[in-house]
Amino acid sequence: MNPKRKRLHDQGDVVLLDFPGAQITKRRPAVVLSSVRYHSERPDAIVGLITSQLNQLSSATDHLLKDWQEAGLTHPSAYRTFLATIPRSAINRQIGRLSTRDLESVRKCLQLGLSL
């Protein structure tokens, strides 16, 4: 592996990064969705948006996080199936990890959103 690549994050890790949005790029939490195998072969990571704007949740591909404090978040938050592929070097730091039940719900959102 290239020594310049950051550590391999696990699926479900909650990280801080400059998330590229539809209109602006903003520092925010995101959940790592790509696998360790993906990370061992590529310099990037696939991440999904985490938001504290709970009034905007309107889709079957959104999930209100039940264990948001365990995930290292400071406010009640939700996962949205708004995905980005970013260089792992853009991940500022890991702040927590989704609980097993929240990660399972995120996987269901991905299945719905991507017809997997």
pLDDT, tens digit (0-9, with 9 covering 90-100), for 52-62: 999 988 899 99
What is the sign, positive or negative, of the torsion defined by CA atoms of 35, 59, 78, 48?
positive
pLDDT tier at 33 (50, 70, 90 boundaries)? very high
Tokens 């696990």 locate to 10
β-bridge partners, 64: 78
Counted domains in the chain: 1
pLDDT tops 70 at residue 46: yes
Please determine, for residue 3, whether its predicted confidence score (pLDDT) is greater than 50: no
Q: Is 8 domain-assigned?
A: no
1 within some domain: no
- Report yes or no on 29 lying in a domain: yes
> 40: which 2 tokens?
């061992």
Mean pLDDT estimate for the chain? 89
Q: Enter the pTM of the model.
A: 0.88
Residue 19, in any domain of the structure? yes
In this predicted structure, which of 14-23, 58-67, 93-102 has the lowest mean pLDDT? 14-23
Beta strands (DSSP E) in the chain are 13-20, 25-32, 44-51, 62-64, 78-87, 91-97
Residue 5 within a domain: no
The parent domain of residue 87 ranges over: 13-114
Q: How far is CA 80 from CA 30, 40, 43, 77, in A?
A: 10, 26, 24, 10
Rounded average pLDDT over 62-69: 97
pLDDT of residue 110: 95
The answer to whether residue 7 sits within a structural domain is no
**Residue 88 maps to which CATH number?**
2.30.30.110
